[in-house]
Amino acid sequence: MQKTVIIIAGPTASGKTALSVQMAQLFNTAVISADSRQCYREISIGTAKPSRDELAAVPHYFIDSHSIREEVNAGVYEKLALGYAGEIFEKNDIAIMCGGTGLYIRAFAEGIDDMPPIAPGIRTRLNEQYTLHGLSWLQQQLQERDPGFYAIAETQNPQRLIRALEVLDATGRSITTFRSATRSPRDFRMIKVGITLPKELLHHNIHHRVDAMVQAGLVEEVRAVMPYRGHNALRTVGYQEIFSFLDGYISLDQAIDDVKTHTRQYAKRQLTWFRKDPAFQWFDPRDPAAIIAYVQQQLAR
């Protein structure tokens, strides 16, 4: 059989983790996480890592593999994930990849171009503007100047927005043009499975998950990583809002509401990203039998 990676993607709280574990058990293989935050040991609650039982059920790669002090990006992920897949292929023809970070999945599947060098002055100026005018200024600038990227960007993450703007300033080109110019051939095939739920149910799952995170100690987790708050992994949904509460700007109730709102918005952007790739076949995760039948049919080809 040709070496194959089954990629399971979709919005947050749609049921990807449970499906990937089921699929890995079926094929007696391992799961490679494609989540840009679950690799950090110090943050577990706000990143919705697989449970202890799920981690014990099948081997997982790229979970708790790094410290928050290390910088991980799509280029780093591409090399790591290809290495993980190679390791799995030594014993098995099939590997499972699961996650919601679209850029990481694309880097693994297609390769990622080297980003252009940025003059230090550009970054300094953008950071100064961000300090002066806040997140809304970054959002407005990017929406006006690069609406294509804005539609799929993590708009609550200032680091990502500054990165996109500095590439625009340095090259006059959208950051997206550096991500898809050349495809790197892979010596394995990929079966891409997208899962999502009806909007009301997905939103219910998101709200329930956020409440569960708070119950599990999200505020304490965020307090413990305060020294690293400038790190990219913490300039994201679930952490930014709790920082605002801990700084005394908003109440805890408001912070929790904001996490729910921003997570819903992020889920919508994830769907926008994955639906742009026609190779994904979409399913309702409540019907795993249909997903397994599709995968087995593809494998038999």
Strands (E), 113-201: 189-195
Query: Left (φ > 0), alpha (ψ -120 to 50) or beta: where does 164 sit?
Result: alpha
Half-sphere exposure of 278 (CA within 13 A, CB side): 0
Q: How many CB atoms lie within 10 A of CB 290?
A: 12
Q: What tokens were used for 54?
A: 């799920």
pLDDT band at 168 (very low <50, low <70, confident <90, very high): very high
Residue 240: pLDDT band with limits 50, 70, 90 = very high
Q: What pTM was estimated for this model as a whole?
A: 0.87
Tell me the domains of the chain and their CATH numbers. Answer: 4-113+180-299 (3.40.50.300), 120-178 (1.10.20.140)
Q: What is the pLDDT of residue 113?
A: 74
CA dihedral for 171, 172, 175, 179, sign (positive or negative): negative
54 pLDDT above the threshold of 90: yes
pLDDT band at 175 (very low <50, low <70, confident <90, very high): confident
Query: CA gyration radius for the chain?
Result: 19
181 pLDDT above the threshold of 60? no
pLDDT in tens, 94-136: 999 999 999 999 999 999 877 777 888 898 899 889 988 999 9
Owner of token pair 């690799």: 39
pLDDT, tens digit (0-9, with 9 covering 90-100), for 204-224:
999 999 999 999 999 999 999
pLDDT of residue 154: 85
Name the region of 32 (left: φ>0; alpha: ψ -120 to 50; beta: rest).
beta
* % of the chain at pLDDT higher than 70: 98
Q: Residue 64 in 3-state DSSP? A: coil
**Mean predicted confidence (pLDDT) in 240-267:** 97
Q: What is the pLDDT of residue 182?
A: 66
